[in-house]
Amino acid sequence: MAAVDIIIGSVYGSSVLVAETLEQALTEAGHRVQLHEDAVLADLDADHFWLVITSTTGQGDLPPNLLPLFEEMRECCPPMPQLRYALVALGDSSYDNFCGGGRQFDELLQELQAQAVVERLQLDATETLDPEEPALAWLKGWMTQI
């Protein structure tokens, strides 16, 4: 089974709840999982599978706890074509720049030549009160690709 790093960007805790739900499912499937709420590049391994779960704040911005990693990667990270990842973006479609934080992180990973194994999941707070449920269904649809 695989080593999975779950990288969390959260302001009010919804991303953490999604991450904990997906962590449990991945662990039950036999994967080794580590949560990173204040990730720095030195703590992450590009040979692990990355599952990024982030909300959006402000005007489509990344949460403050994920911004340092994003900036570090943007400024000094070499291409990472070996990195495989999936991304969950949480947002609210009643605001401009819906899921902007997740889109930014996804675009950075693509610029660094990382390989998405599945299309980014965008969860809309106006449509679901429990984002863990659709995120878990999404994970189960592709988890065998890890």
What digits encode the pLDDT tens for the residues 12-64? 889 999 999 999 999 999 999 999 999 999 999 999 999 999 999 988 899 99
Helix (H) or strand (E) holding 139: helix 132-142
CATH assignment at residue 31: 3.40.50.360
Q: Which domain holds residue 48?
A: 3-145
- Which residues have C-beta within 8 Å of that of residue 17, sequence separation ≥ 6? 131, 132
Q: How many domains does the chain contain in total?
A: 1
Q: What is the mean pLDDT of residues 133-142?
A: 96
The residue among 59, 47, 133, 43 whose CA lies nearest residue 92 is 59
For the record, the structure tokens of 24 come out as 């449990």
State the pTM of this model: 0.95
